[in-house]
Amino acid sequence: MPAGEWLSLTYENTTWVTQIDGVLAEEASGPQPGVPSSSSTLPGLVTRMIELAGIAPGQRVLLIGTGTGLSTAYVCELIGAEHTTAIETDPAAAERARKALAEAGYAPTLLTGDGLLGHPDGAPYDTVIAFCSMRHVPYGLLRQITAGGTLLVTLAGWGFGHGLVRLTVDEHGGACGRFLPGSAQFMIARAHAHPPRGPVEWLPGEARPSRVDPALLDDWTGRFVAQLAAPSAERVGGGGTQVLLDVATGSQARTRPADDGWTVVQRGPLRLWDAVEDAVGLWRAAGSPHVSEFGLTITPAAQRVWLGDPEGPGWNLPV
C-alpha cells in the first residue's frame, strides 16, 4: 500500500487490526485468519484518554502498549519525547513502532517487555496510561506513580466486561477512583489472558430455574457485573445460552431457554451462576446503572470494585 494511503488510514477514527497471531499486517500476503494480537486504537479514543488522564507539559508519562506508536507520538507532541516512556510486549510491533516514531521525528524511551511491570528505572511517573486491559492493577506498577499521580486503565476479564477507571494514587501505596462514562475496550494484557483449554466436556450437574435473564450478560454493564461475581470464569455463548467455565476447578454453569424462563445447570465447587445472580440482583436493585456508577479502591491488602460509594456493595478483584 502506498505511504499516502497508510497515512490516510492513520487519521481515520477507526480501530485497525495490525497484527494477527503474531503476523504483522505488512507481512501478510492475503487475508489472515486467527486472533488479533495488536491494533491501532481509533484516534478519538486515544485523545480522549490523554485528556481524561490530564497529561500536561512538565509531567513524566509512562504508556503501556505502544502498538503502532501513534498514541506515543501524540504524547510526545504534547509533553516532549524526553518525558515520554512507552513499553510494548511484542518485539515485532515494538520494532515497527520504533521505526515509525523515528521517521516522524520522535525519540521517546521505547522498551520491549511486559508493560505490567512498568519501568522502575524511569520512575516516578506523574501519569500512566494503559492501552491494554488488565484483570487487576499490579502493585509494582502502582508504586511507580508519584503520590497524587494518575493511572488510567481499562479493567477487563475473561467474561469480556470492560470498564475504564481513573485512579489517583495515594502516599500509602494505594489508589482510588471512579469508572468513567462511555465505553472503552482493549485487548487484554497477554500476562492476564485466560489459560488455554481443550474441548469442553459437558458433564451432568444440578439444574434449576435461573433467577435472571441470561441475556443480561450481553449488556455492557451486565457482563461487567457478572465478571466481578465470577472473575475466574471464562464466558462463552450469548443470549439465553450463556456458558461459564472455570478451568482451575472444573466448575461449569450453562443456561438455556425454557418454556417459562431459563434453566441453569451448574457443576463443580464454585456455584458460578449463583454468584452472578446475586451480583446482578444488587445491580438491578440500584437501578441497573452504567459502569460509571462503580469505583475501585486499591490498598496493599485488596483491590475492591464498589457500587455507588466505597462503603457500598463490592467485589474483590483477583490478584
Is residue 196 included in any domain, yes or no? no
pLDDT in tens, the chain (319 residues): 556 666 676 676 566 565 565 655 565 566 666 565 556 667 778 999 999 999 999 999 999 998 889 999 999 999 999 999 999 998 988 998 999 899 999 999 999 999 999 999 999 999 999 999 999 999 999 999 999 999 999 999 999 999 999 999 999 989 999 999 988 888 899 899 988 887 877 788 999 999 999 999 999 999 999 999 999 999 988 888 999 999 889 999 999 999 899 999 999 999 999 999 999 999 999 999 999 999 999 999 999 999 999 999 999 999 8
The CATH number of the domain holding residue 109 is 3.40.50.150
Is residue 309 included in any domain, yes or no? no
C-alpha 268: how far from chain center: 28
The answer to whether residues 210 and 175 belong to one domain is no
The answer to whether residues 28 and 130 belong to one domain is yes
The answer to whether residues 47 and 112 belong to one domain is yes
Query: Is 38 one of the annotated active-site residues of the chain?
Result: no
Residue pair 138/116 in contact by the 8 Å Cβ criterion = yes
Instruction: Find the domain containing 213 and state its range.
Output: 203-285
Choosing from 37, 39, 133, 210, the catalytic residue is 39
The answer to whether residues 157 and 16 belong to one domain is yes
The CATH number of the domain holding residue 236 is 3.30.310
The answer to whether residues 58 and 177 belong to one domain is yes
Counting the structural domains of the chain, the total is 2
The answer to whether residues 171 and 232 belong to one domain is no
The set of residues, in sequence order, having a beta carbon less than 8 Å from that of 319 and lying 6+ positions away, is 136, 139, 302, 303
Is residue 197 included in any domain, yes or no? no
Is residue 69 included in any domain, yes or no? yes
pLDDT of residue 146: 97
